[in-house]
Copies of this chain bind each other. A is one copy, B any other.
Amino acid sequence: MQKGKASIKFDEEPVIMGAASIVGEKEGEGPLKSCFDRVEPDPMYGQDSWEAAESEFQRQTALKCLEKSGLKESDIRYLFAGDLLGQIVATSFGVQDLEIPVFGLYGACSTMGEAIMLASMTVNAGYADRVMALASSHFASAERQFRFPLAYGNQRPLSTTWTVTGCGSVIVGKDGKESPSAQEEIYAKVTGATAGKIVDMQSRDSMNMGAAMAMAAVDTILQNFRDYEVDQTYYDKIITGDLGSVGQNILFDFMDKAGHDVKGIHMDCGMTIFDSAVQDTHSGGSGCGCSAVTLCGYILPKLRSGEWKRVLFVPTGALLSQISFNEGQNVPGIAHAVMLEHIGA
């Protein structure tokens, strides 16, 4: 059902019935280390290249997600997936063995939001009983794609973020009402979603992605408030993807100006996954994988337990490529929001 200008309300309330996350060693040393299904110590994951390693993170996470849910590949009708690499090759090579029809997505680090929104739209409309949504990133493949050779050992400004190595995967399915036993396994229901538009703050600093994305997050959160006629008190948490500490300050400023003080309920996945003071990650974590693994490992369990009743999950993406940046283009941002609720709420 259409809600306001850019949102959808899911009358059938699809549920997140499965979730898995696999991360790299650095993520496994951070504050969320006990939350993930697996910490893979080998950054190559047994492969020959970082790109192939990222694909292996995807494949293993998808299989883990199926295993935890007691499902097999053929139980999943469609897959919504993406990553940060050019032509999303981590996805192309990561998910092909699953033999599930796939919709390739690119929303930069907002991809997990885009994927869950489209997955929920698909299930809510009855186009599928179960679909999978996943997103990944890898520190080394992202550095090669967007920045400098690792061996060059460049200095990183304090506004930079550290790309998370990892993949998060969820299974979105029809509500579990008919099967009470299944309900115990259900993490959360998806009650609505707000699609974001591209917001260009005229930022040109690829070493400060938080600033590039903050206004996109503000735009999508305010659109969600308007469409649902609610404010920040409606949510227990508003969780952005990877604004980092620099982007968070900008978010607070603009939300304050719009009359919404979200300081008490805001969380940023990038600021949660690493301990910047100890792990030298500067502004925080980033990458499609950052919000995806934090969702699967940390946010969904809190929704399942009921510690949080209602969360607005807003992964944020910075839209640039090596070429667009070298050609002097701006770095616009985008953010997609998904409304998640405790199943008993």
Contact = CB atoms under 8 A, between A and B. Distances in A.
Interface of A: 1-2, 5-6, 8, 48-49, 51-52, 77-78, 82, 84-89, 92-93, 95-96, 99-108, 114, 118, 121-122, 124-129, 144-145, 194-200, 319-324, 327, 329, 332, 334
Q: Considering residues A99, A129, A198, which has the most beta carbons from chain B within 10 angstroms of its beta carbon?
A: A198
A103 B118 contact: yes
A107 to B, nearest CB: 5
B323 A89 contact: yes
Nearest to A124: B125
Nearest to A78: B195
Contacts of A52: 327, 329
B102 A104 contact: no
A86 B96 CA distance: 20
B195 A2 contact: no
A196 B87 contact: no
A87 B324 contact: yes
A319 B89 contact: yes
18 contacts: A2-B127, A82-B106, A84-B87, A85-B323, A86-B321, A89-B319, A89-B320, A92-B198, A92-B332, A96-B198, A102-B198, A103-B105, A103-B195, A104-B105, A105-B105, A105-B106, A121-B122, A144-B323
A332 B96 contact: yes
A204 to B, nearest CB: 13
Given A99-B197, A126-B2, A322 B48 contact: no
A324 B51 contact: yes
A126 B3 CA distance: 11
A99 B199 CA distance: 8
A103 B334 CA distance: 10
Contacts of A319: 87, 89, 92
Given A52-B327, A124-B125, A320-B89, A200 B114 contact: no
Contacts of A198: 92, 95-96, 102
A195 B85 CA distance: 23
A87 B331 CA distance: 12
Given A77-B6, A321-B85, A329 B103 contact: no
A103 B125 CA distance: 18
A56 to B, nearest CB: 13
A143 to B, nearest CB: 13
A129 B334 CA distance: 23
A197 B77 CA distance: 11
Contacts of A2: 77, 126-129
Contacts of A320: 87, 89, 92
- Most chain-B CB neighbours within 10 Å: which of A82, A100, A321? A321
Contacts of A200: 96
A150 B99 CA distance: 37
